[in-house]
A and B are shown apart, each in its own frame.
Chain A
Amino acid sequence: MSFPTATPAPAVETVIAPTRGWRFLDTRELWAYRDLLGLLVWRDFATRYKQTVLGPLWFVVQPLLMTLVFILFGKVARIDLGQTPPVLFYLCGQLPWNYFAQTFQSTSVTFTNNSGLFGKVYFPRLIVPLAAVVSNLLSMAIQLVTFGIFFAVLKCGAHGANFGLTSGIILLPLALLQVAALSLGVGLWVTALTAKFRDFSILATFAIQLWLYATPVIYPLSQVPVKWHWLVALNPMTLSEEFFRHALLGTDVPSPLLMAASLAATGLVLAGGLLVFQRVEKTFVDVV
C-alpha cells in the first residue's frame, strides 16, 4: 500500500503472516465480534437444560444439597463459624466458589471442546471463554436469589442481629469481577496447556478439588492459624470468600495485605493466561 492506486483503499485489509513473539489483546477485533459473544451466551442458556426435568432449578438444588453436606461436616469437624448461621455461611461461601469452579471448568476445555469449530472457521478464539464467563453469571444470580430468601427468613428469626449487609455490598460487583478474572485466567492457562499435553486436563479436575479445601469456603479464615495467613493470602480465592462474607454477612473486612496480594496474583494469572492462550490459538489446529 505504499504506492498510490486508482481504487479507493478498502475498509478492511487483512495481512496474514507468521506472528513473531507474543500478542496481547486485540480489543478492536473482540468488539467487532460482540454479537457472537452475545449469541454464544444465549446458546448456553437455551441449551444447557434442554431435556432436563428440573431445568434451571438445578442451580437451586445443587448448592442447597452441598450446604446440607457442609453443615453435617461442620458439626462433625466442630468448625467454629462464629455468630453466623451455618446455612447462610455456607450458601454465601458457595457464591464465589461455584462461580469460580464452573467458569474454570468451562473455560479450561475451550480448545479441546471446540477443536472442530476452530478448525473450520476463524473468529477471535477468546470469544468462547468470555462467553462462558458471562453465561455462568446466570447460575450465580439464581444462587444469589436463593441466598437472599434464606437471608430474609433468618433475619426475621431469633439470631437476626448477628449478621447483616454492610456497605461493602457496593463493591460486590468488583469482587465478582475479580473472581471472573481469576477463573478466566486459570482456565486459559489450563486450556492452553491441555491443547498440547492432555495430562493437564486430568491435573485440572484434581487441582480444583484440592483448591476447594485450600480456600475458606467451608471454614472461616479465622480458623486458620495466624502464622499460616501469608500462605492463604497467596490464594486469591481467599479474598473473594472473605469479601463476599463481609459484604453480605457483616464479617470482618479483609486485610489490605490480603487484598493487595490477591489482586496482584489475579492480575498476573489473567495476563499470563491471555498470553499463553493467544500463543497457542494460532497453531492449535495443527496439533489436534
Chain B
Amino acid sequence: MSQPIIEVENLSKRYRLGAIGATTLREEFSGWWERRRGRTVVADARDFWALRDISFTVQPGEVVGVIGRNGAGKSTLLKILSRITEPTSGRAVLRGRVASLLEVGTGFHPDLSGRENIFLNGAILGMTRAEVRRKFDEIVAFAEVEKFIDTPVKRYSSGMYVRLAFAVAAHLEPEILIIDEVLAVGDAQFQKKCLGKMGSVAAQDGRTVLFVSHNLAAVESLCSRALYLEAGRLKLASSTAAVERQFLADLATGGGSGAGSAGTVRNRHPDLIVEDFTAIARDTPTTGAKAGEPIAFRLRYRCANPAAFSDGISVSVIFHVRGQRLLNLWSSAGRGAPFSVQEQGEITCEVPRWPFRTGPVRVDVHASYRMQNILEWDEALVVDSIDGDYYGTGVVPHESEGLMFLPHHWRG
C-alpha cells in the first residue's frame, strides 16, 4: 500500500456567525465593552461548524467525488484543501502539487486578449510562464478559439469564454486536482469534453482528482469512490454507487428530518411568518407524486403587518432534479399579478400534470416583495416522484431518456 496522496485528519472549520461580514469599529468596540463588563454574549450559540472532524485519505490516481446537499460543507472542504482559508482545527497533508479550480476564469481580465489571459490565468493557477508556453497550442485547440486568440475576451461569447477558461485549467499538470462544480457552466457538448479530459487526466497520467458536484451523473461516470457530507460531517465514504444510493434515499425522506420541511428558511422578513409549505394530491398532503397526476403546492403564512406589503408579493416554486435547477414557477410570470397579503392566508400553485421522472425532486419556495427576497426556503420539500402514464398511451420512455415529461403533439 503506497502512502496516501491526500490525508485529512479531524478537519474542522468554525464560522462565528456574528463575526461574518465586515463590522464597524463601533460594533467591535461595544462588543468588547460588553465583554469587559462581564456580560458574556452567548458566543457558542452563534458558532457554526461548517466542517466537523472530517477524516479521509485518498490514494494516488484515485478520482473521488464529494457530494452532499447545499450547506453540507463541500465548498468549505475544498476551500481548506485549496488553502484559501484555514481550518479551525485538524490537519491535512497533500503530497504533490495541487491545483484547484473553484471557478472558471478566475482572474480573467476583460480587456486582455485570449492569448494574454491564458498566460495570466495560468500564472494565477500556479503555472510558470514556461509551462504555459509549452501547453499554449494545446490549450487554444482544446478551447476552439484559434481565430479569436488575439481578441479581448470581453468580446467573446459566454461559451467561448468558459471554454477558454476551462482549457487553461484542464492543462495544469498538478498531481492533485481539486474541482468544484465548474462543469455546471458551458454547453452539454463541452461539458462532455471536459469530463472526458478530466477522466483521461486521471486514467492516463495517474493524477488524483477531488471532484465536487451536484451533478450525480458526472460523479457516477468519473469517480470510483465518493464522500458524502451532511451538515459538516462525513456521513459515508464508500464506492460511488453505495454513496449515491444513500444520498438519494436521504433526499427522498428529507434527510431523516421528517418528510417535507427539511432545508432551512433564510432571509425571513420579520412581518411574514411561514406556517407551512405542503404538496397536495387528491386533497391530501403528500410526499410523493406520480407523473401525469395533478399536484398542488400550498404556502400558508401569517402576517403581522399586511400594510408592509401593500404592492403585493410574488412567489416562486423551484424544482431541482439531481442538483440541477430544472424549473421555476414564478407567479409574476405564470399569473402576471402579485398576491395581496392578508393577516393570514394561503397561496397555492396548481400543477395539472406532474412532469418529473422517477427520483427525488427538491422543491424550494421563494417569495419576494418589490424584487427583494423576503423568503428563501430552499429544500422546503422533497417530492418522491415516480413514473406514470403521462402521455396516456401506456408507453413511457426508458428512465435514462431524460428527467421530465412535456405536453406535446405529433403530426404526420
Would you call A285 and B79 a contact (CB within 8 A)? yes
Task: Tell me the smallest distance from the CB of A83 to a CB of chain B, in Å.
Answer: 47
The reply on B395 being an interface residue by CB < 8 A is no
Query: How far apart sit A196 and B27, CA to CA, in the bound complex (Å)?
Result: 11
Residue of A nearest to B1 (CB): A6
The reply on A120 being an interface residue by CB < 8 A is yes
Contact of A18 among B82, B89, B106, B109 (CB under 8 A): B89
Contact of A39 among B5, B96, B119 (CB under 8 A): B119
The reply on B403 being an interface residue by CB < 8 A is no
The reply on A36 being an interface residue by CB < 8 A is yes
Which residues of chain B are within 8 angstroms of A197 by Cβ–Cβ distance? 22-25, 28
Would you call A288 and B22 a contact (CB within 8 A)? yes
Task: Tell me the smallest distance from the CB of A166 to a CB of chain B, in Å.
Answer: 41
User: Which stretch, A8-16, A151-159, A170-178, touches the partner chain B?
Assistant: A8-16
Task: Tell me the smallest distance from the CB of B1 to a CB of chain A, in Å.
Answer: 9
The reply on B84 being an interface residue by CB < 8 A is yes
Query: How far apart sit A16 and B10, CA to CA, in the bound complex (Å)?
Result: 12
Which residues of chain B are within 8 angstroms of A40 by Cβ–Cβ distance? 120, 123
Would you call B95 and A10 a contact (CB within 8 A)? yes
Would you call B111 and A50 a contact (CB within 8 A)? yes
The reply on B124 being an interface residue by CB < 8 A is yes
Please classify how large the interface on chain A is, using the bins under 10, 10 to 19, 20 to 34, 35 or more: 35 or more
Query: Known: A7-B3, A117-B107, A197-B23. Is A16-B84 also a contact (CB below 8 A)?
Result: no
The reply on B393 being an interface residue by CB < 8 A is no
Query: How far apart sit A47 and B116, CA to CA, in the bound complex (Å)?
Result: 11
Would you call B91 and A15 a contact (CB within 8 A)? yes
The reply on A5 being an interface residue by CB < 8 A is yes
Which residues of chain B are within 8 angstroms of A51 by Cβ–Cβ distance? 111
Question: B77-122: which have CB < 8 Å to A?
Answer: 79-98, 100, 102-103, 106-107, 109, 111-112, 116, 119-120
1/0 per residue, CB under 8 A from A, across B335-378: the answer is 00000000000000000000000000000000000000000000
Task: Tell me the smallest distance from the CB of B22 to a CB of chain A, in Å.
Answer: 5
Which residues of chain A are within 8 angstroms of B83 by Cβ–Cβ distance? 14, 16, 122
Residue of B nearest to A203 (CB): B25
The reply on A121 being an interface residue by CB < 8 A is yes
Known pairs A46-B116, A121-B84, A199-B25; list 12 more (Cβ under 8 Å). Answer: A17-B92, A18-B86, A18-B89, A19-B86, A36-B124, A38-B129, A39-B123, A120-B84, A196-B22, A196-B23, A198-B24, A199-B24
Which residues of B are at the interface with A, using a C-beta cutoff of 8 A? 2-3, 5, 15, 19-25, 28, 60, 79-98, 100, 102-103, 106-107, 109, 111-112, 116, 119-120, 123-129, 175
The 3 lowest CB-CB distance pairs between A and B, nearest first, are A17-B91, A122-B83, A36-B123
